[in-house]
Chains A and B, each alone.
Chain A
Amino acid sequence: MRTFKIVVLLALVVMLLSACAAPTPTPAPKPTEAPKPTTAPAQPTAAPKPTDAPKPTEAPKPTVAPTKAAEPTKAPEPTKAAAPTSAPAAGGTLKIAILAPLSGPVPTFGVMTRDGALLAIEEWNAKGGVNGMKIQAVVEDSQCTPDPAVNAANKVIDQDKVKFIIGEVCSKASIPVSEIANAKKIIQISPTSTNTDVTVGKDGKAKDYIFRACFIDPFQGQVGAKFATENLKAKTAFIMLDQANDYVKGLAEEFEKAFVKSGGKVVGKENYTAKDTDFSAILAKVAAAKPDVIYLPDYYNIVNLAAKQAKEKGITAPFLGGDGWDSSDLDLKAADGGFFTNHYSPDSTAPEAVAFLKNFGAKYKDAKGNAAVPDALAALAYDATNLMLTAIKDAGSDDTTKVKPALEKISFQGVSGKITFDALHNPVKSATILQVKGGKVSFAAQVAP
C-alpha cells in the first residue's frame, strides 16, 4: 500500500506539473499586444490575404538606401521611383522609416501597418509634401523581434539618416528601438505597442522622443466603465477576472475604479483561472446579484464559455469586454448582446474613417481583387504617420527638437478618434465600442474618455 501511495503521488505530481507547464495555447491572445485585426463584419471573407495584397501599387520604392556614404540629411537628392506627380520638389526630401514585422510570427500585422503608413505618406505627397519637402518612406522588416528591430533601427538612423520612425508593431521590439531612438533624438511613434515601457523610461518619466498612437490596456477599462454608465445606464456591475493574466487584471481594475467613480456599484467580483470550463458557481452568484452589466475583459475563448453558460442560466445582463474579444473565433451567438472596446472599426461613421476606408480600398486589393478592408493596425499606422507629419508641419521644420514639442501639444482628428498626448506620451483619444448582435460584430459607439 505504501508503494501505491508513493506511486500515486509521484504520478500525480508529474501530471499536475505537465498540466500547468503545458503551453497554454493562449488563443492567439495578443501575441504582440497589438490590436488584432478587426473582424470585418460586412465581408467576412475579405480577410485581406495581406501578403499578396498591395503588390500592384507599391508606390514609393521603399528601401532606397543611399549608397553614397555620410551625406548630410538634407542632401537635396530628388526622390526617385514612383513619386506622385504634383510635387513642387522645393525643399528636398523628408525620410520616414516604417519598421514593421513583414516576416516573423505576425506578418499580417506588418503588412497592414506598412500599408496604412504608406497610404498616409502618399496622400501627403499628393498634397505637395510637408514644408515643401517630398516624403520618402524607408520600409524595413523588423520581424516583431528585438534583434532584427534594433538592426533595422540602426540601419535607418545611421545609414539612411532617417529622423522619424513609425513602428514597431510589437512592444517587445518597440522597446529596444525606443532606447536607441530616444538616445539619438529620433522621433518614434509606435502605432500599436501597448506596453507602458515603450514610452516610459526606467525613471518613470516619458522618454522624450517616443510616442504611441494606440491607447494602452488599462484605458480600455476606463472607456468600458464610461460606456456602461452613460450609454447602457448601468448602475451595478459584476466583474469576472483571471488574476493571473495582467491584461485582464489591468482592464478589470481600471474598470472598477472608473465605474465606482462615476457612481456605479460593483456588486460582485469573482476570479477564475484560464483553464476553467465550468463557470456555473460564479454565474449562480451573478444571477443572485442581478447586475446591469457583467465585465469580462478576457480573450474570446473564455468569453465563449462564460457567455454561453450565462445565457443558459437565464442571465440577461450584457457582457462587456476589451479587444481580447476581437477574433473570428468569438462565438457570436453566445456573446450576442455583448459589447467590447476596440481601437477602430471599419464601420465607423466618422468622416475621416469613411474616407480612410474608401482610399485604403482603392489603393489595396485583397486576394480576390476586392477592395481591402483596413483593420485596426492599418488605421493606427495611418494615424501615427499623419500625427508625425502634422507635427512636422506645425513645427515648420524637420528638426526633431522642434517637432517633439509640436507633437506634445498636438490635437489631431485621426481615423481612430481625436488624439492628444498626455504627459507620458500616451494618446488621449476615444475608443470604439463594438457590439455583437445578430451574428455579427458592428460599430456601436465612439466613446471619448
Chain B
Amino acid sequence: MQKANAAQQPSSNRRPGARLAWIGQGFLLLLAIMVVIILGRNLIDNPELFIQIIISGLQLGFVYALIALGYTMVYGIVKLINFAHGDVFMVGAFVSYYAVARFQLHVWPSAFFPDLDPLVTVTLGSLSVILLSMITCAALAITIERVAYKPLRDAPRIAALITAIGVSFFLEFFGALSFVFSPRFIPYQRPFDVVTWYIKDGIYLVEPGKAPPAGSITFSNILLIIAVASILVQVFLQFLVRKTKIGKAMRAVAFDKPTARLMGINVDAIITTTFAIGAAFAGLGGVLYAIAYSSIWSQLGILPGLKAFVAAVLGGIGSIPGAFIGALIMGQAESLTAGYISTPMRDAIAFTILILVLLVRPTGIFGEPEKEKA
C-alpha cells in the first residue's frame, strides 16, 4: 500500500495524471448511476422477477462465500493465492457424488435404524456425505500443502503462486482422465430431494407438475441450506479466529511468522491447519453447489474458484467478513447481469469488478492498508 500511496501522491501533483484520475472517477460514477437507474426501472417494472433474480444471486453468493473463505484465510497467513482451491472444491463435489451414487452413503441410517423418522434419516445421511467430502478435501489440501507449497515457503512468492497454478491444472486434468472422474458431464445424484416453495400471500409448497400462480416468488430448500451453512461457517470462523487459542496462533503467524515461531508457536502446523480448514469449507461448498446445480465435471471448479477469488479481493483479501460480503456482492452482480443484460456477459462483469477493485481500492472493502512491515 505504501507504494500505491507513493504512486498516488505525485500523480495528484502532475497535471495529466490528475486529469486522467478525474476522467476515470467520472466514468465510474456515470456507470454506477446507470446501473442504479436500470435496476430501479426493472424493479418497478416487474418486482417479482427482480426479487427472483436477487434470490438466485443469493444462492450463488453464499456458495462463493464458502470458497472465498479458503482463499482469504490462506492469503492472510502465508500470502499465497491458492489457485488450486477451486479444484479442491471440485473434488469435494465428486467425493459426494461417489459417496451417494456408488456407495449409497446417504441412506446408511435407514439401513441401520429402519424405524427412524425419514427426516432424521435424510439429515443424518446427507450430513455424513458432506462430512466425508469435507474430510477428504481437508486431507487433499494438507497433502498439497506438504508436497507443493511447504518446500517453497522461503522462495519468492511468485514461485509459490506458479506452483499453485500448476497444482490447479494437475487436479483438473488428472480428474479428466477416464479412470478418475472422466471428462464427461455427470448428472449428479442428490442425497436429498429438492422441495420448492412459492410466496404469494403466504408460503405454499410447489406441487410437482403444477406451476405456481403468476407473480409468485419461488425458493427451494437448497437455498435455505446453503444460506444457513454459509452463515454458520462464518460465525464459526469468527469464533475460531477471535476466541480460541489456535485462532490466536493464526493471527500471530499472519502478523509476523518469525516472531511467532520464537514465541513457541508451531508455524507449520498452524499453516497446515489453515489450509485444511479452508479446504474443508470448499468441500462443503462443492457438495452444496453440486446439489444446487446438479451436473458435475472435472473443470467444475475453475469458474466458481476464480469468482470466489474475485470476491475475496473485493472484500479485502485476508479479511474473513470481507470475503463473505464480497461473495454476496459477486453473486448479485452475476445474477443481475444474467437477468438484465445477458447470461454470457456475467463472467465478463465478474472480472470487470476485479479490475475496478484493483484500480480504485486494491485493498478491497475491508482490507486494511498494509503497514510498514512489508
CB of A156 closer than 8 Å to a CB of B: no
Whether A1 contacts B3 in the complex (CB less than 8 A), given A19-B299, A280-B59, comes out as: yes
Whether A11 contacts B83 in the complex (CB less than 8 A), given A1-B4, A282-B343, comes out as: yes
Q: Are A315 and B187 in contact (CB under 8 A)?
A: no
Residues of A contacting B172 with CB < 8 Å? 22
List B277-326 residues whose CB lies under 8 Å from chain A. 289, 292-295, 297, 299-300, 302-303, 306, 309, 313
Q: Are A19 and B339 in contact (CB under 8 A)?
A: no
CB of B194 closer than 8 Å to a CB of A: yes
Residues of B contacting A329 with CB < 8 Å? 184-187
Q: Are A8 and B313 in contact (CB under 8 A)?
A: yes
Residues of B contacting A27 with CB < 8 Å? 184-185
CB of A314 closer than 8 Å to a CB of B: yes
CB of B81 closer than 8 Å to a CB of A: yes
Q: Are A331 and B187 in contact (CB under 8 A)?
A: yes
- Tell me the smallest distance from the CB of A288 to a CB of chain B, in Å: 5
Residues of B contacting A276 with CB < 8 Å? 343
Whether A1 contacts B344 in the complex (CB less than 8 A), given A11-B165, A313-B218, comes out as: no
Q: Are A278 and B362 in contact (CB under 8 A)?
A: no
Q: Are A22 and B3 in contact (CB under 8 A)?
A: no
Whether A305 contacts B335 in the complex (CB less than 8 A), given A5-B362, A11-B81, A276-B343, comes out as: no
Residues of A contacting B313 with CB < 8 Å? 8
Instruction: Number of A interface residues at 8 Å Cβ cutoff, please give it.
Output: 50
**Interface segment out of the listed A213-221, A266-274, A429-437:** A266-274
Q: Bound state CA distance, A25 and B344, in angstroms?
A: 19
Q: Are B46 and A288 in contact (CB under 8 A)?
A: yes
Residues of A contacting B212 with CB < 8 Å? 287, 314
Q: Bound state CA distance, A290 and B46, in angstroms?
A: 14
- Tell me the smallest distance from the CB of B289 to a CB of chain A, in Å: 8
Q: Are B294 and A1 in contact (CB under 8 A)?
A: no
Q: Are A287 and B52 in contact (CB under 8 A)?
A: yes
Residues of A contacting B363 with CB < 8 Å? 1
For A283, the closest partner residue in chain B by CB is: B56
Whether A277 contacts B196 in the complex (CB less than 8 A), given A19-B303, A282-B338, A301-B185, comes out as: no
Q: Bound state CA distance, A288 and B213, in angstroms?
A: 10
Q: Are A314 and B218 in contact (CB under 8 A)?
A: yes
Proximity bits, B179-201, A CB within 8 Å = 1, else 0: 00001111100000010101000
Residues of B contacting A271 with CB < 8 Å? 342-344
List A269-311 residues whose CB lies under 8 Å from chain B. 270-273, 275-278, 280-282, 284-285, 287-288, 290, 301, 304-305, 308-309, 311
CB of B349 closer than 8 Å to a CB of A: no
List A13-36 residues whose CB lies under 8 Å from chain B. 14-16, 18-19, 22-23, 25, 27-28
Q: Bound state CA distance, A312 and B219, in angstroms?
A: 9
Q: Which of B3, B295, B347 meets A301, CB within 8 Å?
A: B295
Q: Bound state CA distance, A8 and B314, in angstroms?
A: 13
Instruction: Number of B interface residues at 8 Å Cβ cutoff, please give it.
Output: 67
Q: Which of A11, A281, A290 meets B335, CB within 8 Å?
A: A281
Residues of A contacting B232 with CB < 8 Å? none
Q: Are A7 and B306 in contact (CB under 8 A)?
A: no
CB of B1 closer than 8 Å to a CB of A: yes
Residues of A contacting B338 with CB < 8 Å? 278, 281-282
List B1-35 residues whose CB lies under 8 Å from chain A. 1-4, 7
- Tell me the smallest distance from the CB of B349 to a CB of chain A, in Å: 12
Residues of B contacting A28 with CB < 8 Å? 184
For A277, the closest partner residue in chain B by CB is: B293
Whether A272 contacts B344 in the complex (CB less than 8 A), given A305-B294, A312-B196, comes out as: yes
Q: Which of A2, A11, A282, A287 meets B218, CB within 8 Å?
A: A287
Proximity bits, A329-352, B CB within 8 Å = 1, else 0: 101001000000000000000000
**Interface segment out of the listed B106-114, B147-155, B202-210:** B202-210
Residues of A contacting B185 with CB < 8 Å? 25, 27, 301, 304, 329
Residues of A contacting B343 with CB < 8 Å? 270-273, 276, 281-282
CB of A316 closer than 8 Å to a CB of B: yes
Proximity bits, A53-76, B CB within 8 Å = 1, else 0: 000000000000000000000000
List B139-184 residues whose CB lies under 8 Å from chain A. 157-158, 161, 165, 168-169, 172, 176, 183-184
CB of B366 closer than 8 Å to a CB of A: no
Residues of B contacting A81 with CB < 8 Å? none
Residues of B contacting A1 with CB < 8 Å? 1-4, 362-363, 370
CB of B49 closer than 8 Å to a CB of A: yes
Residues of B contacting A7 with CB < 8 Å? 81, 157-158, 161
Q: Bound state CA distance, A304 and B295, in angstroms?
A: 8
Q: Are B306 and A25 in contact (CB under 8 A)?
A: no
Q: Bound state CA distance, A248 and B354, in angstroms?
A: 32
- Tell me the smallest distance from the CB of B312 to a CB of chain A, in Å: 11
Q: Are B294 and A308 in contact (CB under 8 A)?
A: yes
Which of A11, A280, A329, A334 has most chain B Cβ within 10 Å?
A280
Q: Bound state CA distance, A309 and B187, in angstroms?
A: 12
CB of B60 closer than 8 Å to a CB of A: yes
Residues of B contacting A9 with CB < 8 Å? 355, 358
CB of B351 closer than 8 Å to a CB of A: yes
For A315, the closest partner residue in chain B by CB is: B211
Q: Are B83 and A15 in contact (CB under 8 A)?
A: yes
Residues of B contacting A15 with CB < 8 Å? 83, 165, 168, 302, 306
Q: Are A281 and B53 in contact (CB under 8 A)?
A: yes
CB of B220 closer than 8 Å to a CB of A: yes
Q: Which of B4, B306, B355 meets A2, CB within 8 Å?
A: B4
For B363, the closest partner residue in chain A by CB is: A1
CB of A12 closer than 8 Å to a CB of B: yes
- Tell me the smallest distance from the CB of B227 to a CB of chain A, in Å: 15
Q: Which of A25, A270, A316, A334 meets B209, CB within 8 Å?
A: A316
Residues of A contacting B7 with CB < 8 Å? 2
For A313, the closest partner residue in chain B by CB is: B218
**8 A-B pairs with C-beta separation under 8 A:** A9-B358, A22-B299, A25-B185, A281-B335, A281-B343, A309-B293, A314-B198, A316-B210
Kindly list 5 other residue pairs between chains A and B, CB separation below 8 angstroms, not including A25-B185, A243-B344, A312-B220: A9-B355, A18-B169, A273-B343, A278-B293, A312-B196
The 8 closest A-B pairs by CB, nearest first: A280-B56, A281-B338, A301-B185, A25-B183, A314-B206, A277-B293, A284-B52, A281-B339
